[in-house]
Structure 1
Amino acid sequence: MELLLAIFLAVLTGIVAIAFYYEHPKAEIPHGISERRKLYVLHYLMNFGLGLATFLDKVGVISEVHLLRVIMETIPPLKDSRLLIKDLRFERVKVRIYQLKTSNKNLRRGILYFHGGVGRFGSIRAYERKCRYFCRKTNSVVVSVGYRLAPEHPFPAQLEDCLTATIHFLRTAQDHGVDPSRVVICGDSSGGTLTAAVAQALVNRTDLPKLRAQILIYPFLQCVDLNLPSYQQNKGVPILLKERTLVLGLKYVNVDLGIIEEVFKGCHVSEDRRLKYQKWVSADYIPHEFKTRGYKPSPTYLPSKEVCEVSEPMFDPVFSPLLAEDSVIAQLPETFILTCEFDVLRDDGLLYKKRLEDHGIKVTWCHLQEGFHGTVFLALFGKVVGFRSGAKGLQKIVSFLRLL
């Protein structure tokens, strides 16, 4: 009887998950992406996982967010005898520190890594491979920051933890064999958002060593204009679809999902804000070569007072670092920005690159012509899952780090 019940539940779960998948937009994978079949399979598996998580949440087995966290962690890598790995706390914040066992009398470079996951997913374990890789390839002391996650810990708890960990590390760097003048912060996707926000929060701190550099890997940086060329061109490209980007972002800052359509139209931006932000966020500042894949200027809609009020958290520079004041941008450290051609967030990176360069900040830009959002994260999971573009991105980051 128990076996029959288990089979019935498995079949029912599969049916519901597949049905959920067919309700979602189909993938639009341009021919410019190599290994397209692999990305299609990844898209199908992701949607199946989302459907399964939604179903199990509705029937009370496990919450959607907790199951997705488990899926993201996957199988941890085997033990690496070359590395010394230890779990600590920087004040209240969980961290995992990686360093090579080889003796080295000289102080090393330090890297703080903030994982992606839109403030709701991701973990130290999920990013184990990447942190080990950076440690081995650059002979750096890598600190993976296990910041608290939403919805249990609402925004901006994530920034608070990343900032706490960074300040603690800057103050105690030598205790971990690190030169305090060679500390780099790094993150991908929403981890890139956190990286940018931490760097901005530290610009006026005279009591701490200055950050050596920041590394932003396809970061989310603004929620003013979701109709930039990259949003139009890549709205259906896995793994970060246009609608999924906004849904996850609104959940992160606890804003009602009912305003999605108004936000896509730009009705959440008041006239005053439009005048202020147009000098920083505009398709006019995107180079022409990024507009050749069918970009069309969007019509302008009048702002809605009610939607503008609800959307207030979306303009906080902690959530949208591209909106920081010039006085802050002008003091930022040397920066590495990685963008992907087939990523809705591509133009966020391009606009931030321009703002930094306009203020004389040294920027190293890596653009993955065949890349898509998430490709760097997947690069270390073997040939079955990894993509060539992601491996190229990792190599470029390592080359940058070795020069610091």
Structure 2
Amino acid sequence: MNRIANPVPSPSEILQKSEGKGSHGWLSYLAPSSTAMLLLLGIFLAVLTFFVAMAFYHEHPKAEIPHELSQRWRLYFLHLFLNFGFGLGKFLERIGVLKDIYLLRAIMDGIPPFKDKRLLIKDLSFEKVKVRIYHPKMSTTGQRRGVLYFHGGVGQFGSIQAYERTCRHLAWKSNSVFVSVGYRLAPEHPYPAQFEDCVTATIHFLRTAQDYGVDPSRIIICGDSSGGTLTAAVAQALVNRRDLPQLRAQILIYPFLQGVDFDLPSYQQNKAVPILLKERTVTFGLRYLNKDVRLAETLDRWSHIPEDLRLKYKKWVSADHIPQEFKARGYQPSPTLPLAEEIFEMLRPLLNPVFSPLLAEDSVIARLPETFILTCEYDVLRDDGLLYKKRLEDHGIKVTWCHLQEGFHGTIFLANWGRPVVFRSGEKGMEKLVNFLRLM
């Protein structure tokens, strides 16, 4: 996009010409009328940005805040704020200022918390993977448990900084050594770089745990949302490693686990419930895999799955395996469309267990460690967690299940951000997580 030349001098020119003009700096270079014009221009651009962002916001389906939620208005205002961010990001990308993903990263990182005197915090690298280690200062006998945390963000946003509050809280409350993994992000680092970094960091920590005062037999991996996907995939990747200590447990917080069926009951019931709308789930998933987002319409049905694989996957991914109580808010099976062969080839990565851990073979599932799964009633990913719970239990894996009846996607992430955005469901989920960790 061609830019119109700006008649206002650049900051460097103004600073050079304003030398010797007193302590007012570059403002003294401008005539009063020029200063007023700049202020008016700034106000105009701010107002224009707001209305354009709201216009993009109204392109999306309206949110549906369930009446059963006791804090529904708080969720509604949070949705307005986030959708304004999405709209502003799209607007800035369309006019060529910056990609929307960079604005979303900045929003998610937020304001960093103050120092925490209860923890020793240090930034390190595990085989070139950035990590931040949280070590409780409280005295303890023997070696502590260790937890690797893989943050959410669909592999494209989220960071160590964004999850600073989460890791601090869990480390202190559970008296555990926490390792927050700063894996590389897409699109700068295409999938599956994120998975590779998490595997690398986990192997390094398993081998060097004692250097950090951690018992190698008490190492847990944990993640929320797409971080839960990474957690499940890493646990599967390590089941056959005999040269490493075995993982003590895995913790999956409202994880994305399959790219086969985007029409399960939870997708139908919660498609417009903030924060993770169905449209947003599919679109960001395709962007993560560097696929055309226009393919999202195809993913509403089974048309991207060949007949032989469809029969295989229905053993693991089917509304038939969802307990009837979770269909009470409504579920209507959708007709199956014929396979479009060229679509299957484009979307084949969706079926890789690294992206869809629920599709791993039985021989892998049967060797996984003890598992904690947290699901939320008002989350499109609820049924992914329920289906994985069933698969694990069918193979004799011990599963601790926490279901937040008033929970929604992201409630755990918000649990330590202060009263305006904290929900009771998030606080309850945090308490359950800490209790599970203390037993490991």
Superposed, which structure 2 residues align to 1:202-351 within 5 Å? 202-351=238-387
Superposed, which structure 2 residues align to 1:3-402 within 5 Å? 3-402=39-438
AA partner of residue 284 (structure 2): L
With 175-184 and 102-111 compared, the bigger mean Cα shift is at: 102-111
Q: What is the percentage of aligned positions where both structures have the same residue?
A: 72
4+ runs of 1 displaced by more than 4 Å?
A: none
Aligned residue for 2:283, secondary structure, equals: helix
**Deviation at 1:370?**
0.6
User: Would you say how many aligned residue pairs link Structure 1 and Structure 2?
Assistant: 404
AA partner of residue 60 (structure 2): H
Distance 1:279 1:167 in 2: 32
**Deviation at 1:59?**
2.2
AA partner of residue 185 (structure 1): I
**Deviation at 1:105?**
4.7
With 392-401 and 297-306 compared, the bigger mean Cα shift is at: 297-306
Distance 1:53 1:95 in 2: 28
Aligned residue for 2:261, secondary structure, equals: coil
AA partner of residue 56 (structure 2): F
RMSD of aligned Cα (Å): 0.8
**Deviation at 1:216?**
0.1
**Deviation at 1:346?**
0.3
Aligned residue for 2:421, secondary structure, equals: coil
Deviations for 1:262-298, whole angstroms, at most 9, x for unmatched residues? 1112211111110110100000000000011111111
With 212-221 and 51-60 compared, the bigger mean Cα shift is at: 51-60
Task: Flag structure 2 segments of 5+ consecutive residues without an equivalent.
Answer: 1-36
Distance 2:362 2:141 in 1: 41
Aligned residue for 1:86, secondary structure, equals: strand
Task: Flag structure 1 segments of 5+ consecutive residues without an equivalent.
Answer: none
**Deviation at 1:54?**
1.3
AA partner of residue 404 (structure 2): L
Aligned residue for 2:178, secondary structure, equals: strand
- TM-score (ref. length: structure 2): 0.91
**Deviation at 1:254?**
1.0
Distance 2:437 2:141 in 1: 20
AA partner of residue 177 (structure 1): G
Deviations for 1:43-86, whole angstroms, at most 9, x for unmatched residues? 11111011111112222322211111001011111111111000
Distance 1:348 1:297 in 2: 17
**Deviation at 1:227?**
0.7
Distance 1:132 1:302 in 2: 50
Deviations for 1:177-220, whole angstroms, at most 9, x for unmatched residues? 00000000000000000000000000000000000000000000
AA partner of residue 245 (structure 1): T
With 7-16 and 126-135 compared, the bigger mean Cα shift is at: 7-16
- TM-score (ref. length: structure 1): 0.99
Aligned residue for 2:287, secondary structure, equals: helix
Structure 1 counterpart of 2:27: none
- Residues 23, 207 of structure 1: alpha-carbon distance in 2 compared, 3 angstrom cutoff: same
Deviations for 1:88-135, whole angstroms, at most 9, x for unmatched residues? 000110000001123435100000000000000100000000100011
Distance 2:118 2:329 in 1: 46
Distance 2:173 2:165 in 1: 12
Distance 1:282 1:54 in 2: 35
AA partner of residue 371 (structure 2): T
Distance 1:24 1:219 in 2: 24
Aligned residue for 2:219, secondary structure, equals: strand
Distance 1:260 1:100 in 2: 45
AA partner of residue 275 (structure 1): L
AA partner of residue 226 (structure 2): S
**Deviation at 1:31?**
1.6
AA partner of residue 121 (structure 1): F
**Deviation at 1:255?**
1.5
Distance 2:116 2:391 in 1: 41
Who wins on radius of gyration, i.e. which is larger?
A: 2
With 189-198 and 265-274 compared, the bigger mean Cα shift is at: 265-274
